[in-house]
Structure 1
């Protein structure tokens, strides 16, 4: 019996837009800045301000799809070394988010850990989250931080600052060709 949280039932959302946001954050951090380039931030702000309710939902679903895809890659990488992805990723994620009180409210951390566990067990993060109602405003930064931290984790594992972005870009390209 399949789960109602099976990824086959989940909307992919706007993965490209979600990746744009995460990639700009990665480039800012790798560039030694704590903030995104002002011009890049203005573009992101203009884009998000232009979104209607459906567009916002697509962006949220896209971020969840990124989390799912990142965890799928991490699960395979850890399994290649006989390690459990949940054991190695979730505590690191929770500890890092706990050190980000301006961006991530403490009450959002369990939800983000749940999203990662759902993805790590091959469930759709967006459908898992949907069981508990609509997204809240207080979950927006933590959701972005979760996708960012997973991408950064992948980049550190591969010693390649663009690996996570290329991983998604290649997956999107091959999906368009199919």
Structure 2
């Protein structure tokens, strides 16, 4: 009987369940404070904020985040399947930190209505996203590249958050 001992990371099913579960949890937690139709006061507050002209229309956000999180889910899956190493551990730590940051940003901005702290949180998420791309690329080039949309979006979001903070506080 052939041995099926695994020397790599998690099985495909385990990796998929963990990656998709973490990303889904981050999206659902973040949505709890977002200006969706089931949060009319938050929606009203957000609509009344002074925002720069380059603010995307509201429908852009769920589309962007769905694409970004799908990329991160696949990147996380690839890392979870990779051979264990200190680099993999570091990349997964950045990946997890990004999920926490994504989940928490909406609470800070929309839930606490703290535009200043949301700007700080966004900048921290951006730094974590860059860390993810750099470390994930050492383990799996594709996993690292899949983090680039997060870096781009969060860079833009930090600029946007800072401008909203400046215009409203």
Larger Rg: 2
TM-score where L is the length of structure 1: 0.29
TM-score where L is the length of structure 2: 0.30
